[in-house]
Amino acid sequence: MYHNIARVPQDVRVYRSLYVSPASFARQLGMLKMFGYRGVSMADAMPYLRGEKEGRIAVITLDDGYVDNLESAMPALQRHGFTATCYVVSSLVGQYNVWDADRLGVRKPMMSIDQLRAWQRGGMEVGAHTRTHVRLSQCDPQQQRDEIQGCKAELEDRLGTRITQFCYPYGDHDDRAVDTVREAGFDAATTTHRGRAEAAPSTDLMRLPRIQVARHHVLPQVAAKVLSGYEDKRS
């Protein structure tokens, strides 16, 4: 689980851990490849998550849809022959991180539709991250449907492709939200619960755990988190 692939702007006050430098990101991808892992998007991972295929894969996800994902993450992914999924806030395409800009002290540019298409042309996947980046457990049923189903519809309409993957903003969800995601026709959904996903039925595909990679994590830490049971024990 990544967010920004960029150096931390000097005026960012909090959540500096959301930034991973392009050089660190590239080293992390190289480490995965060195250990025989293939970095894949959620769509590419589905046969493994369903138990239909076996292999050494690491699913690479990036939350929110920032421009730096296209400019810095995609070239590194392509160099290694990897794919990834970027979860997009549909009503803020081409705008900025309205939900936390004041708290962070910085407006982070989001990919436009043309940039999202370039992301897709580069072999990457676009997923859904609600319409406005809300806490879904705090929404009433109609708001949940609008945020979840509306995001899927908006992205599919503007990109002309099927959107099959969902991510709960802040990792926040309840049973109602999970049911709404399933009813909307998504194949899988990711949370912020710590741990490595196992093939179904061991893992609920609508509540997949992830491993956060943050700015302060050095390469040996990333290796321990991804390649061992370190995160599983903290789930």
What are the tens digits of pLDDT across the range 115-127? 999 999 999 999 9
Domain membership of residue 214 (yes or no) is yes
Domain membership of residue 108 (yes or no) is yes
Q: Are strands 85-88 and 125-128 parallel, antiparallel or unpaired?
A: parallel
Domain membership of residue 145 (yes or no) is no
Q: Is pLDDT at 13 greater than 80 in this prediction?
A: no
Domain membership of residue 173 (yes or no) is no
| Mean per-residue pLDDT, 66-77 | 98
Q: What does the pLDDT read at residue 142?
A: 97
Domain membership of residue 109 (yes or no) is yes
Confidence of residue 10 (pLDDT cuts 50, 70, 90): confident
Q: Is pLDDT at 14 greater than 90 in this prediction?
A: no
Domain membership of residue 148 (yes or no) is no
125 membership: H or E segment, kind and range: strand 125-128
Whole-number Å distance between alpha carbons of 83 and 42: 9
Split into its structural domains, the chain has a count of 1
Domain membership of residue 56 (yes or no) is yes
Domain membership of residue 175 (yes or no) is no
Confidence of residue 234 (pLDDT cuts 50, 70, 90): confident
| Domain extent for 205 | 4-129+194-230
Q: What is the CATH number of the domain that holds 35?
A: 3.20.20.370
Whole-number Å distance between alpha carbons of 46 and 199: 9
Whole-number Å distance between alpha carbons of 151 and 132: 9
Q: Is pLDDT at 102 greater than 80 in this prediction?
A: yes
pLDDT tens by residue, 172-204: 999 999 999 999 999 999 999 999 999 988 899
What distance lies between CA 185 and its chain's CA centroid? 18
Alpha helices (runs of H) in the chain, residue ranges in sequence order: 22-34, 42-49, 67-68, 74-79, 101-104, 113-121, 141-159, 175-183, 219-227
What global pTM score does this model have?
0.96
Whole-number Å distance between alpha carbons of 229 and 10: 35
Least Cα distance to 235 among 194, 192, 191, 190 occurs for 194
